[in-house]
Amino acid sequence: MGRVRIDGVWRVTAGVAAFGTLLAGLSACGGASGGGGTRSGGAPGSAAKASQSPPADSTRIPGIGDRLYRHIPADSSQVVVATGAGRNSAETTVMLYTRRGTRWHAAGSWPAHNGRQGWTTDHHEGDKRSPVGVFTLSDAGGVLPDPGAKLPYDHNAAGYATPRYWAASHRHDFDYVIAIDYNRVKGTAPLDGTRPLGQEKGGGIWLHLDHGSGTSACVSVSEEAMRYLLRTLDPARHPVIVMGDRADLGG
């Protein structure tokens, strides 16, 4: 047995597995506290030419600028895009894009939340901001049994259970999770607390179930969305997530 300090509270752990749970499950993802297109056209009777908007380039994912786009692996044909409403906002839209040949197609869109304080390009433990960047998606798990995930799925009801002192609205946050490969070891269960960049750079950042408000750094979506993503994201298609506020994504 050992003791570890989480958010100012000493907790008793039962070895390495429990310690990994505390690091990954509590440090970033939850917490007991606490988001129209235009049409153009010519004047009546005029020919529709220069006044019309050019068609979107389907060989690119909308809203992602060159700086981040070049970090999407060439062999990735599934990209989750989490677009934050603003740098200091917890409101996000999550979309899934799939590539067939050279063209990207939207395959789903859901309202979501990110870190309570918004986004950052220099994430640190406890800053309540989600990291901006392109990250692979390699592993999944949760309290509930595998819903048919293509990613390796770690079913561990006790390991992913939220602490009893968390608000009731947060009790199901980790029913399903997909680990975002920020400061973690790919190919391990989301509960693995190993942080290659060091503890101060944070970690345990997941896609998980939404509780209606911002997170500590994770991205949260509805249960329906999580089930869809778990059943759709395929290791053979090298899925990644591109995440950040609208300005950073487009820069």
Residues 227, 177: Cα–Cα separation, whole Å: 10
Residue 42 — φ and ψ, nearest 5°? -80, 175
More confident residue, 132 or 4: 132
Average pLDDT over every residue of 6-23: 36
How is the chain split into domains, by residue range?
2-32+58-250
Q: Per mean pLDDT, which range of 13-17, 149-153, 235-239 is the poorest? A: 13-17
Res. 11: pLDDT tops 80: no
pLDDT of residue 240: 98
pLDDT of residue 28: 61
pLDDT of residue 57: 72
Residues 6+ apart with CB under 8 A from 193: 19, 20, 21, 22, 23, 24, 203, 204
Average pLDDT, the chain: 84
Q: Do 160 and 189 meet the contact criterion of CB atoms below 8 Å apart?
A: no
Res. 215: pLDDT tops 60: yes
The alpha carbon of residue 118 and the mean position of all alpha carbons in its chain are separated, in whole angstroms, by 13
Each residue of 20-44: pLDDT tens digit? 433 344 446 655 443 333 323 333 3
pLDDT of residue 56: 66
SS3 15: coil
pLDDT of residue 4: 33
Each residue of 136-157: pLDDT tens digit? 999 999 999 999 999 999 999 9
Q: What number of other Cβ atoms are within 10 A of residue 129's Cβ?
A: 25
Average pLDDT over every residue of 78-86: 98
Amino acid code (one letter) for 133: G
List the beta strands (DSSP E) in 76-176.
Answer: 78-84, 91-100, 103-113, 118-120, 129-131, 133-142, 153-155
Each residue of 95-113: pLDDT tens digit? 999 999 999 999 999 999 9
As a residue count, the chain comes to: 251
Average pLDDT over every residue of 168-176: 96
